[in-house]
Amino acid sequence: MRVLTKEEILRELDGVLELEEDRVKVLDERKLKEELIDDLIYTAVFGDEEAKDVSRWVIRAAALDLRIVPSSIHDLYTGPMAREELPKWFTVPAMNIRGITYDVMRQVFKLAKEEEVGAFILEIAKSEIGYTDQRPAEYTACALAAAIKEGFRGPVFIQGDHFQFNAKNYAKDPEKELESIRALTKEAIEADFYNIDIDPSTLVDYSKPTLKEQQYHNYLNTAKMTAFIREIEPEGITVSVGGEIGHIGGKNSTPEEFEAFMEGYLEELRKYGENIPHISKISVQTGTEHGGIPLPDGRIAEVKLDFSVLEKIGEVARKKYQMAGAVQHGASTLPDELFHKFPEVKTAEIHLATGFQNIIYDHLPEDFKEEIYSWLKTELKNEWKEGWTEQQFIYKTRKKAFGKFKKKFWDLPKEVKEPMMKALYEKFRFLFEQLGVFGTKEIVEKSITPVEVYKKRNF
């Protein structure tokens, strides 16, 4: 992989792509896949600003010409899922890819092509955008480049995960905090994130006497953000918006909480117009924690996950509000034998992150790992909580090394990357099979009409 200049990119495109004002024509797909795409994505991530912009535009335009289209999953969620008209229930995996993003995403698209998978989401959370040093436009470029490389065709669902309100900042200046979430959301939608999970559940106040009062700042801001998204989404696209009721509080969500949230949310949303499409799913607390809970010896604590929460709230969501159902967060470190249960209780979506990160770290050379851990102990020592062992501290903080060591992760030698990617591919295969998404390309293509959004080039 090489970093190219703008001039080198334009030279390399000769005979491979024909540039037009707002699109390209792919003349030689084989050459694009086998020779050019690796350098284009490497430049899109590590080039100078001008070369980054050119390579990202080229990747995006080439993807559209190959019918690889960033899309919203809204119509699947509010259509056959909400009506329970699926041939067989499946749970959509939403995967947070924190590092070596292009290579890891290639494994997803390779599997999707082999097993006719249409229902899957690639996502990145607000916090991850920061500590992994991956702005939305870069993340999208990685996804589309990986799809081109693997010969995938069809809708690609890219999601902004946990666009979360900071409770302390909100208490100081609610409008300023709302504006920061609006700005990130606008950046994400402009970068083809047509699926956005809004998360003001951090603002829930359990000291209030009624469920609706407890959820007030959560539903108020979810409604404000839904209306904002509807204003800025591209013509012809209804962005899939997710809400959340269960981020905090140390207790599992209930159907009553969900209904109180929805009652307030829909009242607020109607203030912006009568027929504004509302959220298509709801994230809930079932007893898990993001990344799992590390024990002093480095093992992960067993979790008591209440599947009935997903089942009961999901049923209310579908029958009463025409939504896909409930969403499970923080699931990738759960025991393997639990994953088949998610489709059984009709979970709409499941978020997976840390398990993939753990596979990457398991395959790193010891000297690189030591370099990372040494940096963590120096630079993040203020995050070392009282009573934590070194293993607990490293497990909880090592995700934050992906940004600092980004290029070194991407540049790992082939003999390190190959077994790592094989292990990730096998993990994706296991999860996709357990969640029932093999063969979902057909239902996705019937439900989703991809809308191609063209952007003029400025070079």
CA distance 115 to 208: 49
Give the pLDDT confidence score for residue 305 in this predicted structure: 83
pLDDT tens, position by position, 55-67: 999 999 999 999 9
Residue-wise pLDDT for 196-211, tens only, equals 999 999 999 999 999 9
What is residue 158's predicted lDDT score, i.e. its pLDDT?
A: 98
Q: Count how many Cα atoms sit within 13 Å of the Cα of residue 50 in the half-sphere of its side chain.
A: 8
User: pLDDT at residue 291 above 60?
Assistant: no
Residue 453 has pLDDT above 90, yes or no: yes
Spans of all domains in the chain: 6-65, 70-361+416-447, 366-408
| pLDDT tier, 311 (very low <50, low <70, confident <90, very high otherwise) | very high
pLDDT value for 187: 98
Worst-scoring range by mean pLDDT, 3-17, 213-227, 286-300?
A: 286-300
Q: Which residues are bridge partners to 20 per DSSP?
A: none
For residues 106 and 430, is the Cβ–Cβ distance under 8 A? no
For position 296, what pLDDT does the model report?
A: 62
Q: Determine the pLDDT at residue 333.
A: 74
The secondary structure of residue 78, as a DSSP letter, is: I
Residue 295 predicted with pLDDT over 60: no
Backbone angles phi, psi at 122, to 5 degrees: -105, 125
Which pLDDT value is given to residue 331? 79
Q: What is the mean pLDDT of residues 216-241?
A: 97
pLDDT for the residue numbered 123: 97
Nearest to 159 by CA among 207, 182, 133, 192: 192
DSSP 300: B
* Helix 136-150 and helix 37-46, axial crossing angle in degrees, nearest 10: 170
Q: What digits encode the pLDDT tens for the residues 360-372? A: 999 999 999 999 9
- As a whole number of angstroms, the distance between CA 405 and CA 437 comes to 33
**What confidence tens digit (pLDDT) does each residue in 144-177 have?**
999 999 999 999 999 999 999 999 999 999 999 9
Percent of residues, the chain, with pLDDT higher than 90: 89
Residue 428's closest CA among 134, 106, 63?
106
In the CATH scheme, what is the code of domain 70-361+416-447?
A: 3.20.20.70
pLDDT at 293 over 70: no
Give the mean model confidence (pLDDT) for residues 398-417.
Answer: 97
- At position 85, the amino acid (one-letter code) is E
Whole-number average pLDDT of the chain = 94
All residues at 6 or more sequence positions from 261 whose CB lies less than 8 Å from its CB, including other chains:
211, 212, 215, 218, 219, 222, 243, 245, 282
The answer to whether residue 50 scores a pLDDT higher than 90 is yes
As a whole number, mean pLDDT of residues 304-316 equals: 91
20-29, 128-137, 239-248, 319-328 — which is least confidently predicted?
A: 239-248
Mean pLDDT calculated for residue range 280-308: 71
Q: Which value, in Å, is the radius of gyration of the alpha carbons in the chain?
A: 22
What pLDDT is stored for residue 324 in this prediction? 98
Helix (H, G, I), strand (E, B) or coil at 158: strand
In what helix (H) or strand (E) does residue 137 lie, and over which residues does it extend?
helix 136-150
Dmax (CA) of the chain: 68
Q: Does the pLDDT at position 413 exceed 80?
A: yes
Is the Cβ–Cβ distance between 436 and 91 less than 8 Å?
yes
Measured between alpha carbons, how far is residue 200 from residues 45, 165, 205, 268 in Å? 31, 5, 11, 15
Residues constituting the chain: 459
Angle CA 389–390–396, to nearest 5: 95
Tokens of 105: 């995403």
At 128, the pLDDT band (50, 70, 90 cuts) reads very high
Q: What is the pLDDT of residue 299?
A: 60
Distance of alpha carbon 379 from alpha carbon 372, whole angstroms: 10
* 71-92 residue pLDDT tens: 999 999 999 999 999 999 999 9
